[in-house]
Structure 1
């Protein structure tokens, strides 16, 4: 705001110059108008002098930090004076004259300090000079605060209210507190336009700096209660902006309780139902954070919140996907409590969410599936309803390789297969084409999708003999063996575990042994492993099953990696010793036969 200029020797005092600025007027002018014009002229002159001081201070080399602080406060005061000069409260406020005289006295002192700091000898000593600079800075802060109070008390309905300059990034905590107090004074006594501006400024600084959040939440009396009261204001804009400010505060775990204590949940429900588009999303964002504590769920239910949330989910065409996603997350949070889950089911949550899983909006589908997954994971009855009513169809559709679904959507679908526990649900999944689609992503998906496919099919292998056989028939074995060489340790481990589960079916074990390369690749993978990993444990279990057949033993011996088993056996690896014992017994038997036939 200030421009750096060369400082010139002391002029006529600022106070005298300001007094000389009384405007010309005619005898017919009204006394109130004359007083207002005179005070406006003084304000404008004070602003000019203030700019001059700010610019001159750049040439000072002594105490640069102190002068930077003074310049910052001068900038705030300049902003206030500019707005006050255009205000309509001057003629009604008898304290304006006193404030102007006090400011002009401070300006004279600043001019004197400029001269003292420009003198290399620092007349009076640096300690005294530092004290005087601190005193001037403090007085400027008081002028700013008093000017804001006078303006608010006399001009609270004026659309061009003083907007103090936001403190700089390195401002002191006291400057931040003063700025916050000023904004809240406008919220308390201002008209709608002033309150809207104050809320917008407050929202901006809260998002930029956590220190403002702390000061609002803990250092400003009744700040949260005042903000909550605006949630019930008749003006949509005020409700929306108040929700925006509270949404920032709600992001901090330590302050969420303040919102609940201030009674925020009740007023948020009507905004969620009938507010502006942005207001509804902000209200939903706050409720999502508050319902992370399940104890708050009952308050939402008591105010009809569950009905409102389900209405949002059922009206996907009329609501933005962001709002629907937040509604699903809130329902998911609420569903963590058993009684709340039951109530949600009674209110028709499952059909609504299942319908949403078939939505055209991918994000809405993901949130609905995750919500159903969360509810059904903790409740067998809900799990049966979800599976019976059509979740499998949504899962398989998202896994269609021809679809344009994202990896995130496919991951949500794969996670939802955890709900399939019964033989009937697994049979439905198999008949839906899931195996072919899962195998495609096992071959072509990224690592995160591969890991989820492996987790899903490995778990299903454990549950169903028919599923294990179907996987072998579909060609999973060779692909799983090839993944033992994957870069991801997680993929390698899950692949080994799934192979182990699959060979519980005898025909899968035969298929593994009959392949020309599978046993050989397993042996080489085992040889490359380091440390006592879960992958090694699974592979040794596979070899322990393979070594039971003559052809399996031949495959192991032909791999050229028997030394790996020997090394592990010598290290007291139990399964490796068992495999080596089988191989040794077979070799001894062959040696006896060879000796017998040699006679």
Structure 2
């Protein structure tokens, strides 16, 4: 590192302007020094205070304030000495540690003296904080040093400016971060910015609070978790919850958005709870006057918190289940979706809570959302179907309740009449429902699901074909369903076509053969299989593939009674 002279490089530059730039350079250099870290942190703090005080001085570009002349000359000399020490520490070219420590202590005392002297000059009115110096925003792709300089200028304005200046500094801070996320690292590195933002969250000036929340939201939304850690260390959670309690509507929405990001890490859930945040969030969700955006975000935060067992128990005791069942009826999609997801999360692997959801009418409310007469969005309907599946299918009593409501008829409607994404989800739910109980299989058969499932055997998606085949194989095990199935000759023909060894349905053939085996349990089924023009596919499958189920099917079909009939068909 070459020594940089504090003397002017361009004619006409005032000592004040040079001092500001020189100190800014020293601050940047100090971050890269790895020896005597504690000493350099103290030196950097004094340099940053000097930088703020000088920027705030009286109109530095239009001529030097006479009152500053003496202190600036002394300060520039100290800055030069500090720069020399920084060079030697960076190069590790000093003669001894004790001597360097002594030199650093001497420089620290001098810098502290300059800080106090400037404070005295401001306090006595010798200097006036006119803030005339306005640093231009660096262009895109600017150097890190230019970015630091700009952020320090904004920091100064946030510290010493009036409400208007603080507001503009915060707006500018938000603007540069949106344009270039490299500024986030600079914000975290430059001392006091994060702490000041957190402090501003508690400001009585609404505009300051709102603009601060916007910047904090950008930091919490950034992918680097260490940035969130800096905010947590600065005490952001407590102040965000205060904004939720007493802030403006804009501030509350911003605070909830920040907390939602912060609580993605369950370690931070306890901080929200410790500051009374759970009660505040539940109150927002239970307040009929709360705006939709705020309620949706509050739901999201609480959804993140239920992963902590103790907090979940507290929510249950505070009536969260009934609150969120009520929110499912909301006309706001974001609130609906968030509340449904919350109910799923709070009942996940918790039989007592699941029973509470059922007991308090949660399943009935979810069922009503699926009513085709209501114009809820496809997204809401998808979330509801998944919620019903997760909440109800583990209990035979709950499945019976669903069937009594008419849930099977709803599923059939969505399979027959809705867009592909809903249709396939309804099929998946049907598949899961079919595996829950004998009662469910009978209800699905009575409703007319089997012909619809047969149609899906020709779907493009392998997953869809497999679910349809497996559901059918379960349903035809019920004698009543079996009789209905064989009444339509096309059903058997399609099954026999699909087991053709030349077709690429190998993954689902085991289910198709299972269906045929079940059908052999009734005389009509056996006869229709043997009389089908595709019956020879059974023999080909048993001969060409190592398939024990196919051989079993052949044995069931080739009893003495039907052997001659079958031989005549297969060898014709």
Question: What interval of TM-score do these two structures reach, taking the shorter chain for normalisation?
Answer: 0.7 to 0.9
Question: Of 235, 245, 262, which residue of structure 1 is paired with 2:215?
Answer: 245
1:296 corresponds to 2:268: yes
Give the direction of change, closer, same or farther, for the CA distance of 1:516–1:179 in structure 2 (3 Å limit).
same
Whole-Å Cα distance in 2 between the matches of residues 183 and 191 of structure 1? 13
Question: Of 200, 212, 236, which residue of structure 2 is paired with 1:230?
Answer: 200
Is residue 451–residue 494 contact of structure 1 (8 Å, CA) maintained in 2? no
Question: Of 214, 225, 239, which residue of structure 2 is paired with 1:267?
Answer: 239
Q: Shift in Å at residue 402 of structure 1?
A: 1.8
Question: Of 487, 493, 498, which residue of structure 2 is paired with 1:514?
Answer: 487
Q: Shift in Å at residue 368 of structure 1?
A: 0.8
1:311 corresponds to 2:273: no
Map of 2:302 onto structure 1: 331
Map of 2:108 onto structure 1: none
User: Structure 1: any 5+ residue segments left out of the alignment?
Assistant: 1-13, 20-38, 44-80, 103-148, 595-599
Is residue 484–residue 492 contact of structure 1 (8 Å, CA) maintained in 2? yes
Q: Shift in Å at residue 299 of structure 1?
A: 1.7
Whole-Å Cα distance in 2 between the matches of residues 575 and 385 of structure 1? 45
Deviates more, 1:507-516 or 1:170-179: 170-179
Question: Of 427, 430, 433, which residue of structure 2 is paired with 1:457?
Answer: 430
Question: Of 171, 175, 194, which residue of structure 2 is paired with 1:204?
Answer: 175
1:436 corresponds to 2:406: no
Give the direction of change, closer, same or farther, for the CA distance of 1:222–1:503 in structure 2 (3 Å limit).
farther
Whole-Å Cα distance in 1 between the matches of residues 543 and 488 of structure 2? 26
* 3-state SS of paired residue (2:489): coil
Question: Of 256, 268, 287, which residue of structure 1 is paired with 2:228?
Answer: 256
Whole-Å Cα distance in 2 between the matches of residues 430 and 493 of structure 1? 24
Is residue 447–residue 488 contact of structure 1 (8 Å, CA) maintained in 2? no
Map of 1:576 onto structure 2: 550
* 3-state SS of paired residue (2:201): helix
Is residue 569–residue 580 contact of structure 1 (8 Å, CA) maintained in 2? no
* 3-state SS of paired residue (1:402): coil
Whole-Å Cα distance in 1 between the matches of residues 63 and 354 of structure 2? 68
* 3-state SS of paired residue (1:517): helix
Please provide the CA RMSD for this pair. 3.4
Map of 1:445 onto structure 2: 418
Aligned residues: 464
Is residue 58–residue 130 contact of structure 2 (8 Å, CA) maintained in 1? no
Question: Of 459, 464, 488, which residue of structure 2 is paired with 1:486?
Answer: 459
Is residue 58–residue 65 contact of structure 2 (8 Å, CA) maintained in 1? no
Give the direction of change, closer, same or farther, for the CA distance of 1:281–1:90 in structure 2 (3 Å limit).
farther
Is residue 272–residue 284 contact of structure 1 (8 Å, CA) maintained in 2? yes
Q: Shift in Å at residue 592 of structure 1?
A: 10
Question: Of 473, 488, 506, which residue of structure 1 is paired with 2:446?
Answer: 473
Q: Deviations over 1:231-289 (max 9, x none)?
A: 22222222222221111111224222222222111111110122111111111111111
Q: Shift in Å at residue 481 of structure 1?
A: 1.0
Q: Shift in Å at residue 479 of structure 1?
A: 0.9
Is residue 281–residue 323 contact of structure 1 (8 Å, CA) maintained in 2? yes
Whole-Å Cα distance in 2 between the matches of residues 394 and 229 of structure 1? 43
Deviates more, 1:436-445 or 1:553-562: 553-562
Whole-Å Cα distance in 1 between the matches of residues 559 and 130 of structure 2? 99
Q: Shift in Å at residue 376 of structure 1?
A: 0.7
Q: Deviations over 1:306-340 (max 9, x none)?
A: 11111111124x22211111111111111112211
Q: Deviations over 1:78-111 (max 9, x none)?
A: xxx9x99799997576469x99xx9xxxxxxxxx
Q: Shift in Å at residue 305 of structure 1?
A: 0.9
Q: How does 1:344-383 map to 2 (within 5 A)?
A: 344-383=315-354
Is residue 369–residue 416 contact of structure 1 (8 Å, CA) maintained in 2? yes
Is residue 60–residue 133 contact of structure 2 (8 Å, CA) maintained in 1? no
User: Structure 2: any 5+ residue segments left out of the alignment?
Assistant: 1-9, 18-54, 77-117
Is residue 156–residue 191 contact of structure 1 (8 Å, CA) maintained in 2? no
Q: Deviations over 1:204-253 (max 9, x none)?
A: 22223221222223x32343223212222222222222221111111224
Whole-Å Cα distance in 2 between the matches of residues 593 and 576 of structure 1? 16
Map of 1:68 onto structure 2: none
Is residue 496–residue 537 contact of structure 2 (8 Å, CA) maintained in 1? no
Map of 1:563 onto structure 2: 537
Is residue 88–residue 155 contact of structure 1 (8 Å, CA) maintained in 2? no
Question: Of 358, 362, 372, which residue of structure 2 is paired with 1:391?
Answer: 362
Deviates more, 1:515-524 or 1:542-551: 542-551
Map of 1:6 onto structure 2: none
Question: Of 463, 481, 499, which residue of structure 1 is paired with 2:472?
Answer: 499
Give the direction of change, closer, same or farther, for the CA distance of 1:576–1:253 in structure 2 (3 Å limit).
farther
Give the direction of change, closer, same or farther, for the CA distance of 1:410–1:178 in structure 2 (3 Å limit).
same
Map of 2:98 onto structure 1: none
Q: Shift in Å at residue 384 of structure 1?
A: 0.2
Q: Deviations over 1:435-454 (max 9, x none)?
A: 21111111122232123222
